[in-house]
């Protein structure tokens, strides 16, 4: 067991500060990773604030982890010292249930082990995430990184990337489909990039008119301002698919009106009660509201390989660990372009 530096919240809603945590020694199938970069996901903020009622303190957030392998256990076959690797939202699952057998560990029927806030079966207490110097993870939950990509901009792919890629795959979004991405933040900007790469006609649906130019640079064909009722009305019944990344409770009825017959809106943002839905908006047009949680390990690797092939990474703003509380405030006021990534050497050197 080793003690290392981490950054986290000791009680609900607290500012993040340096906290010492323990990591297990490397077991036969483990990979020990020196963390070099870690993205800031809006879920990190939800966990610090216990928005979903499942946080265990201290919370050490971080599930968009990029690092270098420093040690491998004796049975590890996929990785070796000095490899660049990634860790996303999952570090373990039961591996025996139907979901695990279908490579859908995120829906493990016995409960997956989250990178943070899960139950640490080795050391007890909660698992601790990537706002830390180092992590030890079973090789089956470690991802390979395509060599051609800008490594610091790969970090957000481990959550924002897979969370948007997976529903586009599951609902078979294809060339020519009209796809709306709701909310231009970390997830939204990846949603635009993937939908564009799949050949869809992409509409960025945003509350922030000032983001219109960026949305087009990211690959949107059109921008729809959701507060503009006339503009929303003009696009009624025209969308094949909507990806809703809004992080808080909100009224989805105006978005349902945008869907074509038989079309689906997938919720990935608000994991909490939402405002009442007028079921007439579903009945008249056989429409669906669905949800989706990150993606399994196999699909996450496929997503990374897709990014390697299409040269897709996130647009990132690099910060030091000590700037994290300020970054959280900016994410909460929708002022992020489009993902913060922490240089983890700043924690090592503090
Ligand atoms: P983010 O960077 O903060 O982006 C969210 C965007 O939503 C904002 O930039 C803003 O875009 C829009 N928005 C914010 N408040 C809004 C409101 N009241 N009404 C309408 N639009 C609003 O967040 P993120 O990291 O992309 O995460 C988004 C959500 O997904 C979070 O709740 C996160 O916890 C969740 N999440 C879920 C999964 C999953 O597996 N399902 C995985 C990762 C994250 P505009 O300025 O363009 O309107
Ligand atoms: Zn996340
Ligand atoms: Zn399982």
Sorted by where each starts, the structural domains of the chain and their CATH numbers stand as 2-159+315-348 (3.90.180.10), 161-291 (3.40.50.720)
Among 64, 37, 39, 47, residue whose Cα is nearest residue 8: 47
Find out whether the beta carbon of 336 lies less than 6 Å from any atom of ligand 1.
Answer: yes
Distance CA 242, CA 154 (A): 25
pLDDT for position 266? 98
Calculate how far, in angstroms, residue 248's C-alpha sits from the geometric centre of ligand 1.
7
Would the CB of 295 count as within 6 Å of ligand 1?
no
Provide the pLDDT for residue 312.
98
Pocket lining: 90 vs ligand 1, CB cutoff 6 Å: no
CB-ligand 1 contact for 35 (6 Å cutoff): no
Q: How far is residue 205's CA from residue 222's CA, in Å, rounded to a whole number? A: 9
* CA of residue 311 relative to chain centroid, distance: 19
Q: What is the pTM of this model?
A: 0.98
Please state, in angstroms and rounded to a whole number, the distance separating the CA atoms of residues 179 and 156: 22
Residue carrying the six token digits 């997976």: 166
Q: Residue 287 is encoded by which pair of tokens?
A: 């429409």
pLDDT, residue 341, reads: 98
What per-residue confidence (pLDDT) applies to 319?
98
Residue 235 is predicted with a pLDDT of 98
Whether 49 lines ligand 1, by a CB cut-off of 6 Å, is no
Contacts of 16 (CB under 8 A, 6+ apart): 7, 8, 9, 48, 61, 131, 324, 325, 328
The strand ranges marked E within 45-160 are: 65-72, 84-87, 90-92, 113-114, 134-138, 143-144
**With a 6 A CB cut-off, is 48 part of the ligand 1 pocket?**
no
Q: Which atom of ligand 1 is nearest to the CA of 208?
A: 46
Q: What is the pLDDT of residue 303?
A: 98
| Peptide bond connecting 338 to the previous residue in cis, omega within 30 degrees of 0 | yes
Taking the chain (350 residues) in runs of 10, the rounded mean pLDDT of each run is 97 97 98 98 98 96 98 98 98 98 98 97 97 98 97 98 98 98 98 98 98 98 98 98 97 98 97 94 97 98 98 98 98 95 97
Which stretches within 97-185 are classed as H helix? 98-101, 160-170
> Ligand 1 pocket, 331 CB below 6 A?
yes
Residue 342 has a pLDDT of 98
User: Which of 291, 315, 310 lies closest to 199 in space, CA to CA?
Assistant: 310
Q: Cα(165) to centroid of ligand 2, in Å?
A: 13
pLDDT at 94: 98
Question: In whole angstroms, what is the distance from residue 350 CA to residue 346 CA?
Answer: 6
> How far does the centroid of ligand 2 lie from the alpha carbon of residue 236, in Å?
31
65 contacts 41 by C-beta, under 8 angstroms: no
- By CB neighbour count within 10 A (0-12 exposed, 13-18 middle, 19+ buried), where does 229 fall? exposed
Ligand located closest to 104 CA? 3
pLDDT tens across 24-59, in order? 999 999 999 999 999 999 999 999 999 999 999 999
Of 43, 112, 183, 213, the one to substitute when testing ligand 1's pocket (max ligand atoms within 8 A of C-beta) is 183
Q: Which of 254, 259, 265, 203 is nearest to 229 (CA)?
A: 254
- For atom 32 of ligand 1, the residue with the nearest CA is 247
What pLDDT, on the 0 to 100 scale, is given for residue 335?
A: 93
Closest ligand, as measured to the CA of 316? 1
Task: Decide: 185 in ligand 1 pocket, CB within 6 A.
Answer: yes
Is residue 248 within 6 Å of ligand 1 at its C-beta?
A: yes
């Amino acid at each position: 067991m080793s003690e290392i530096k981490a950054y986290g919240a000791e009680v609900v809603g607290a500012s993040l500060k340096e906290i010492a945590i323990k990591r297990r020694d490397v077991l036969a199938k483990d990979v020990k990773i020196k963390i070099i970069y870690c993205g800031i996901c809006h879920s990190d903020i939800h966990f610090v604030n216990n928005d979903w009622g499942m946080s265990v303190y201290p919370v050490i957030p971080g599930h968009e982890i990029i690092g270098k392998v420093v040690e491998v256990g004796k049975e590890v076959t996929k990785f070796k010292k000095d490899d660049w690797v990634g860790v996303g939202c999952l570090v373990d699952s039961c591996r025996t249930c139907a979901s695990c057998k279908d490579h859908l560990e995120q829906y493990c029927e016995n409960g997956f082990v989250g990178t943070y806030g899960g139950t640490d079966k080795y050391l007890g207490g909660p698992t601790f995430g990537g706002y830390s110097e180092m992590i030890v993870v079973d090789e089956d939950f470690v991802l390979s990184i395509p060599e051609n990509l800008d490594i610091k901009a790969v970090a957000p792919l481990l959550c924002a990337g897979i969370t948007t890629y997976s529903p586009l795959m599951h609902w078979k979004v294809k060339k020519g489909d009209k796809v709306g991405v709701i909310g231009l933040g970390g997830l939204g900007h990846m949603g635009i990039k993937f939908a564009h790469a799949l050949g869809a006609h992409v509409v960025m649906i945003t509350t922030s008119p000032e983001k219109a130019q960026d949305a087009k640079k990211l690959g949107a064909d059109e921008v729809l301002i959701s507060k503009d009722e006339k503009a929303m009305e003009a696009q009624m019944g025209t969308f094949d698919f909507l990806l809703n990344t809004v992080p808080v409770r909100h009224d989805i009825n105006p978005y349902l009106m945008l869907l074509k017959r038989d079309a689906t809106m997938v919720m990935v943002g608000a994991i909490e009660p939402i405002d009442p839905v007028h079921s007439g908006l579903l009945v008249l047009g056989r429409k669906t509201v669905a949800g989706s949680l990150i993606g399994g390990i196999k699909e996450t690797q496929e997503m990374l390989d897709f990014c390697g092939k299409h040269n897709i990474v996130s647009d990132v703003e690099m910060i030091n660990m000590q700037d994290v509380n300020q970054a959280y405030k900016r994410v909460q006021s929708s002022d992020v372009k489009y993902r913060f990534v922490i240089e983890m050497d700043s924690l090592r050197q503090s």
